[in-house]
Amino acid sequence: MFYEGKAKKLYSTADPDLVIAYFKDDATAFNGKKKDTIEDKGVMNNRMSELFFTLLEKNGVKTHFVRRLNDREMLCKRLQIIPVETVVRNIVAGSMAKRLGREEGEPLPHPIVEYYYKSDALDDPLIIGEHAIAFGWATAAELKQVDEMALKVNSILKRFLDERGVILVDFKLEFGRYQGEVILGDEICPDTCRFWDKATRQKLDKDRFRRDLGGVEEAYHEMLRRVEI
């Protein structure tokens, strides 16, 4: 093991270009201030990430996904992670609602891409692209690619989920460099996305944990059921 994050552990392999991501059941919120475990979350997030990465690859988005090895492990390309979290929003929620005093649920006229600097010490502050360029976290060309890829991921996932009765409210992506290219890394699951049921607007994501709404495991299972059909 060479890295342990909040939700995953990373292991090196005999091949220096490949790593194994191990998905844990640990759940954190508010930058680690709230902690618990969600039963089988690791299994569900590993499987859901596999489904989404496969869908994205089919649609021409390059990702770090190689293959799922077992319930909790995924073989991935080893990226040099760009220390910027990219958030795409279709509907106002979470920190955007709070920061700008808007009602959660307000639709945005078009998808908005935001960047956050990956820093636990600073609580992942919202930044503008110029900050990332000025401090050498990414080049202007890389950010342009990040932007284009993030919007493409949004269109693909939004459509796929809509067909399954799910509204894609917002989500977070992480990108990295691999053999001179920017590719999509990390995971795509209810920990990193907001999913609302189209009919009831019921939350099917980690907000159930963050906000103590109950039915956390059930929501993750329900999301997996929706995307597996």
Give the interface with ligand UDP as residue ranges (CB under 6 A).
87, 93-96, 124, 170-172, 192-194, 206
Q: Output 18 or 215, the one with its CB closest to ligand UDP.
A: 215
Give whichever of 18 and 118 is closer to ligand UDP, judged by the CB atom.
Answer: 118
Cα separation of 94 and 194, whole Å? Answer: 9
Q: Tokens 């220390």 correspond to what residue?
A: 83
**Residue 14 CB, nearest approach to ligand UDP (Å):** 31
The nearest distance, CB 97 to ligand UDP, in angstroms, is: 8
How far does the chain reach from its first CA to its final CA, in angstroms? 34
Q: In whole angstroms, how close is the CB of 195 to ligand UDP at the nearest point?
A: 9
Angle at 60 between CA 81 and CA 84, to 5 degrees: 20
Q: In terms of CB distance, is 138 or 193 closer to ligand UDP?
A: 193
Question: Which residue is at the shortest CB distance from ligand UDP?
Answer: 94
Task: Tell me whether residue 73 or residue 170 sits nearer to ligand UDP (CB atom).
Answer: 170
What CA–CA distance (Å, rounded) separates 113 from 171? 10
For residue 95, what are the contacts with CB-CB under 8 A and spacing of at least 6? 126
For residues 16, 22, 27, 32, the Cα torsion angle rounded to the nearest 10 degrees is -30
- Name the residue nearer to ligand UDP (CB basis): 18 or 104: 104
Q: How far is the CB of 62 from ligand UDP (least distance, A)?
A: 21
| Smallest separation (angstroms) from ligand UDP to the CB of 180 | 27
DSSP secondary-structure letter at 150? H
